[in-house]
Amino acid sequence: MIQVTDFRKVYGRTVAVDGIGFEVGAGQVVGLIGPNGAGKTTTLRALAGIIPPTHGQLVVDGHDVVRAPLAAKRSLAFVPDDPALFDALTVWEHLEFTASAYRIRDFEAQARGLLKQFELEAKRDAIGQELSRGMRQKVAIACAFLQNPRALLFDEPLTGLDPGGIRTIKRMIREHAARGLAVMVSSHLLPLVEDLCTHLLLLHFGRVRFSGTIDQARQTLAAPHGQASLEDVFFQIMHEQEPP
C-alpha cells in the first residue's frame, strides 16, 4: 500500500533523510520511531505530498506521490501533530468540508458516528478557534477516518488527547487495520508503539536502522540474556556511533 524507494531529502547542506526504503502492506500498523531529527516527520510529510523529495520515489496505493499527486492523496489521510483547523468553521462543517473535498456521498451517518466515538457531539457547533488542542486533534482524526483512506499517517497522534480519546483512537486503528487499512504512526511514546503496532521502522540520522515486526526487533537486537524490550531496542540504536 505504501512503497518508498531510495527517498532522500536535503535542505541546503542538511541531509534530513538519506536514501531510505521501506514498504507498508495492507493491514499493517507500522510504528515510526527515532530521536528528534531522525527524519520521521519529513518522511510522513513527503508521503502526504506536502514536501517534494530531493530524490527517490514514494508510492501510495499504486500512485506516485510526485507524478500523480491527486490520485495518491485520494487514497491517503495525514494527521499532523498539531492540526490547523479553519478558525471560522464549526466541527460539523469540518466534516462537511472533508466529505465535499473527497466527494463522499451520504456521509452524515458516518460523521455523526465519529462525533459520538470521539465525544464531540457537544462541540458539534463550536468553531475551530474555540477548541483546545486535544479537541482539534480529535476533529482532525475524525475527518481522516471520514475520508475512508487506504493508508493513514499519524504524526504523534496522542498529543493533547484525554484517556477516552486515546482509547478510541487505538481501537479504531486496530479495527480499520483489520479491514485492510495501512497505518503509519510516528511517536516517541514507545509503550504506545509496542502495544499498538505490528511492525517497526526505526530511523536514526536519516537512515533506516531497523525494519521488521516488533518481535523481530526484540529478537534481532536482544541482549545476550534474552529478548529486549522496545525501549532496549531504541536505546541500543541511539548509542550506536553516528555514521560519517
pLDDT digits (tens, 9 = 90+) for 197-231: 999 999 999 999 999 998 888 776 655 555 667 88
CB-count burial class (<10 Å; 0-12, 13-18, 19+) for 119? middle
Question: Would the pLDDT of 137 be above 50?
Answer: yes
Task: Indicate left, alpha or beta for 164 from its phi (over 0: left) and psi (-120 to 50: alpha).
Answer: alpha
Confidence band, pLDDT 50/70/90 cuts, at residue 172:
very high
For the chain, which domains are there? 2-85+150-238 (3.40.50.300)
Q: What is the pLDDT of residue 158?
A: 84
Q: What is the pLDDT of residue 241?
A: 47
Q: How far apart are CA 221 and CA 227, in angstroms?
A: 8
pLDDT digits (tens, 9 = 90+) for 9-51: 999 999 999 999 999 999 999 999 999 999 999 999 999 999 9
Q: What is the pLDDT of residue 98?
A: 96
Q: What is the pLDDT of residue 226?
A: 55
Q: How far apart are CA 150 and CA 215, in angstroms?
A: 25
Q: What is the pLDDT of residue 181?
A: 96
Q: What is the pLDDT of residue 20?
A: 97
**CB-hemisphere CA count at 13 Å for 26?**
7
Confidence band, pLDDT 50/70/90 cuts, at residue 238:
confident
pLDDT digits (tens, 9 = 90+) for 147-157: 999 999 999 98
pLDDT digits (tens, 9 = 90+) for 81-122: 888 899 999 999 999 999 999 999 999 999 999 999 999 999
What are the grid coordinates assigned to 144, written together?
481522516
DSSP state of 13: T
What is the mean pLDDT of the segment spanning 157-166?
A: 87
